[in-house]
Amino acid sequence: LSRLVVLGDGSWGTALAGLARDGEHDVSIWSRKQPNSAPLARAQGVIIALPAQVIGDVLAALALPPGAALIIAAKGIERGTHRFMHQVVAGTCPKNPALILSGPSFAEDVTRGLPTAVTLAAEHLEVARYWAAQLARPHFRIYASDDLMGVAIGGSLKNVLAIACGISDGKKLGASARAALTARGFAELSRLGKALGARAETLVGLSGLGDLLLTCSSEQSRNYAFGKRLGEGMPVEEALAASSGVVEGAYSAEAALALAKENGIAMPITQAVAAIIEDGATPESMIRSLLDRPLGIE
Amino acid sequence: LSRLVVLGDGSWGTALAGLARDGEHDVSIWSRKQPNSAPLARAQGVIIALPAQVIGDVLAALALPPGAALIIAAKGIERGTHRFMHQVVAGTCPKNPALILSGPSFAEDVTRGLPTAVTLAAEHLEVARYWAAQLARPHFRIYASDDLMGVAIGGSLKNVLAIACGISDGKKLGASARAALTARGFAELSRLGKALGARAETLVGLSGLGDLLLTCSSEQSRNYAFGKRLGEGMPVEEALAASSGVVEGAYSAEAALALAKENGIAMPITQAVAAIIEDGATPESMIRSLLDRPLGIE
């Protein structure tokens, strides 16, 4: 049994803390509102359940014990630097092993004890296996992986693509259109993954495809719900304000597009989402540009 | 413009006939109830929108003009022979080019003019391109492919996996569980595809992944709705009787499992669905066997 600190008291941090307590670990929750609330110095594992865009700053300000495992339970790409979360953590805390916990798992499903399966990745497979065994519960299965980049890309891109699926549904384009958009979106995610060294098996696994299709098809997803508001005609600022919690895909879209350009990869759906959020393009123009692309070979 | 006959007057046959008429083709509909209703002898293209399990018998009884393109708009594996539909058609009509039209496309979405994107495969890419150009409409995009086997596998397996997803939802296991099941199901589909010579790009494309996730997430899918009834506790025979139209996955499950065994491939979800339909296993036993599998490496 381990001494764990969960950074973040949002729905996901609270759900993960509950799971760890069920597993009889010694668990404290730290929050930005109460920065002295957790005994960080003695932690063996730190679960990072904070919004992706603040993780760099928060970790730089905290005194984390060297050697403690940093288990990232956040998904996204840092704006400006275009770094994935494990790169942010490794840059800030080079003496700590960084892991990513990711996969199709709504906090509410986990809290209710419904069956869930996720991936835990670390640079070294033994580290991933050790923490997978520590944190798994009968209804919360954890598969170990050593493909950090593959897990990071799936978790980040799915939020961007969920916005596109939400827009399609907001415009009432139908289930068939959304399915085509999701499949084409997965092809974009896979192209970027391949260019950045992710393994194909990871991309089609729980943390890639599994999480993508959960996020792209459910009102419970904040990113999907945000896109749906855009599709219904709400302006970007208003749709962001109407969201409960952080709409990570709205921040990651620009960074994902920059990575695509750096690597010479076509990501038309990501590009359309970024244009809507960053440049005031209309959802109509996105639909038109996607539908009017020349007929190609699949 | 072409002279086309559509075999089958169900919702999909009717939707495709409507599309072809919109494209100003000369279109007749043939049905089993009115077997003399269509001028087959002069057809340049025959769209086969019949239940998969009757196609072999129907084609053997009809006098199709040699050389006419046979465009299969049905998905499934023939029971007993374990042949995919393009193999059934090639066996019965060796002098006709066989094509498969497949992808995420509910008949209702197509009829309402909502945007849809599908794949059309033939042995020779030029044949697929020719018919894609003939049948495409501004809101019904068709991508050409020469991977018949890849398209056939996606279309057949998705129906089996949709039953599993329906069972999960019928038992109220939550969106996270269904997403994990779908991702694991796609891994099964991909393993079988790889063994049978399908291309990976086809499997992650519209006719594979795209159609899988449409079918696995919508009440509009007969296979999903059938599975949901099973998950809610309805016996197999009763759930079949309650279905409007043919539940193709209920027939293909046994054949898919036989192909898996022939090729030495593990397909635990397909196996569980076949056991429920063929051997009277309970949905509970399926859930248990899937949840209790040993923790592995993803």
- The secondary structure of B93-105 as a DSSP string is -TTS-EEEEESS-
Residue B149: closest CA among B189, B116, B186: B189
Residue A250 pLDDT exceeds 90: yes
Q: Do B183 and A139 touch (CB under 8 A)?
A: no
> Which residue is catalytic, options B75, B95, B158, B261?
B158
Residue A297 pLDDT exceeds 70: no
Q: Do B174 and A295 touch (CB under 8 A)?
A: no
The two structure tokens encoding residue A131? 């923490």
Q: Do A204 and B211 touch (CB under 8 A)?
A: no
Q: CA–CA separation, B283 vs B232, rounded Å? A: 9
Q: Do A218 and B175 touch (CB under 8 A)?
A: yes
Percent of all residues in chain A with a pLDDT value above 70, rounded to a whole number: 97
Residue A289 pLDDT exceeds 70: no
Q: Do B144 and A174 touch (CB under 8 A)?
A: no
pLDDT at position B297 is 52
- What's CA B190's distance to the chain center, in Å? 15
Residue among B106, B200, B201 whose CB faces A175 most closely: B106
Residue A18: closest CA among A137, A143, A141, A142: A137
Q: CA–CA separation, A71 vs A142, rounded Å? A: 13
A chain contacts of residue B151, beta-carbon cutoff 8 Å: none
CA distance A175 to chain B (A): 7
User: What type of residue is B248?
Assistant: E
Confidence at A26, pLDDT banded by 50, 70, 90: very high
- Find the residue in B nearest to A199 (Cα): B298
| Those residues with Cβ within 8 angstroms of residue B254's Cβ, 6 or more apart along the chain or in another chain | B79, B274, B277, B278
Percent of all residues in chain B with a pLDDT value above 70, rounded to a whole number: 97
Pair B150, B210: CB distance under 8 Å = no
Residue A85: closest CA among A176, A151, A30, A23: A151
Count of A-B CB contacts under 8 Å = 181
Where does residue B80 rank: exposed (0-12), middle (13-18), buried (19+ CB within 10 A)?
exposed
pLDDT at position B298 is 52
Q: Residue range A105-121: average pLDDT?
A: 95
Pair B193, B150: CB distance under 8 Å = yes
Confidence at B293, pLDDT banded by 50, 70, 90: low
CA distance B213 to chain A (A): 6
Residue among B145, B186, B287 whose CB faces A298 most closely: B145
A chain contacts of residue B208, beta-carbon cutoff 8 Å: 183
C-alpha atoms less than 13 angstroms from C-alpha of A243 in its C-beta half-sphere: 26
C-alpha atoms less than 13 angstroms from C-alpha of A231 in its C-beta half-sphere: 24
Percent of all residues in chain B with a pLDDT value above 90, rounded to a whole number: 87
Pair B100, B72: CB distance under 8 Å = yes
Q: CA–CA separation, B215 vs B158, rounded Å? A: 7
- Find the residue in B nearest to A133 (Cα): B295
Average per-residue pLDDT for chain B:
93
Q: Do A109 and B211 touch (CB under 8 A)?
A: no
Give the orientation angle of helix B268-279 with respect to helix B248-262, to 10 degrees. Answer: 120
CA distance A268 to chain B (A): 16
Pair A104, B176: CB distance under 8 Å = yes
CA distance A225 to chain B (A): 15
Q: Do B175 and A119 touch (CB under 8 A)?
A: no
Residue among A117, A144, A179 whose CB faces B214 most closely: A179
Q: Return the ∠ at Cα B110 (arms to B107 and B115), rounded to 5°.
A: 140
User: What type of residue is A199?
Assistant: R
Residue among B141, B173, B295 whose CB faces A143 most closely: B295
- Find the residue in A nearest to B208 (Cα): A183
Tens of pLDDT, residues B1-49: 999 999 999 999 999 999 999 999 999 999 999 888 788 999 999 999 9
Cβ atoms within 10 Å, residue B185: 24
CA distance B27 to chain A (A): 24
- What's CA B102's distance to the chain center, in Å? 7
Residue among B187, B207, B214 whose CB faces A175 most closely: B214
B145 bridge partner residues: B121
Residue among B104, B204, B291 whose CB faces A180 most closely: B104
Interface test with A, best of B176, B186, B209, B222 (most A CBs within 10 A): B176
Tens of pLDDT, residues A207-226: 999 999 899 988 889 999 99
Q: Is the dihedral of CA B183, B189, B193, B196 positive or negative?
A: positive
Residue B294 pLDDT exceeds 60: no
Q: Do B144 and A206 touch (CB under 8 A)?
A: no
B chain contacts of residue A209, beta-carbon cutoff 8 Å: 182-183, 186, 209
Residue among A116, A296, A298 whose CB faces B180 most closely: A116
Tens of pLDDT, residues B144-170: 999 999 999 999 999 999 999 999 999
pLDDT at position A37 is 77
Residue B135: closest CA among B177, B102, B173, B179: B102
pLDDT at position A65 is 93
Confidence at A244, pLDDT banded by 50, 70, 90: confident
DSSP-based three-state secondary structure for B121: strand
- What beta strand segments (E) does chain B contain? 3-7, 26-30, 45-48, 69-72, 98-102, 116-122, 140-145
So which residues of A are the catalytic ones? 158
Q: Do A180 and B116 touch (CB under 8 A)?
A: yes
pTM: 0.91
Q: CA–CA separation, A152 vs A140, rounded Å? A: 20
- Find the residue in B nearest to A208 (Cα): B183
Q: Do B204 and A204 touch (CB under 8 A)?
A: yes
Residue A117 pLDDT exceeds 70: yes
B chain contacts of residue A106, beta-carbon cutoff 8 Å: 174-176
Q: Render chain A in DSSP notation, one character per residue.
A: --EEEEE--SHHHHHHHHHHHHTT-EEEEE-SSSTTSS-GGG-SEEEE-S-GGGHHHHHHHS-PPTT-EEEE----B-TTT--BHHHHHHHH-TTS-EEEEESS--HHHHHTT--EEEEEEESSHHHHHHHHHHH-BTTEEEEEES-HHHHHHHHHHHHHHHHHHHHHHHTT--HHHHHHHHHHHHHHHHHHHHHTT--HHHHTSIIIIIHHHHHTT-TT-HHHHHHHHHHTT--HHHHHHTSSS--HHHHHHHHHHHHHHHTT---HHHHHHHHHHHH---HHHHHHHHHTSPP-B-
| Those residues with Cβ within 8 angstroms of residue B48's Cβ, 6 or more apart along the chain or in another chain | B7, B8, B55, B59, B70, B71, B72, B73, B74, B85, B89
Cβ atoms within 10 Å, residue A189: 26
Residue A295 pLDDT exceeds 70: no
Phi/psi at A29 (nearest 5 deg)?
Answer: -110, 130
B chain contacts of residue A142, beta-carbon cutoff 8 Å: 295
pLDDT at position A298 is 52
Tens of pLDDT, residues A41-85: 999 999 999 999 999 999 999 989 999 999 999 999 999 999 999
B chain contacts of residue A186, beta-carbon cutoff 8 Å: 204, 209
pLDDT at position B37 is 77
Confidence at B289, pLDDT banded by 50, 70, 90: low
Tens of pLDDT, residues B113-131: 999 999 999 999 999 999 9
C-alpha atoms less than 13 angstroms from C-alpha of B77 in its C-beta half-sphere: 26
Cβ atoms within 10 Å, residue A107: 18
Tens of pLDDT, residues B202-255: 999 999 999 998 999 888 899 999 999 999 999 999 999 999 888 999 999 999
Average per-residue pLDDT for chain A:
93
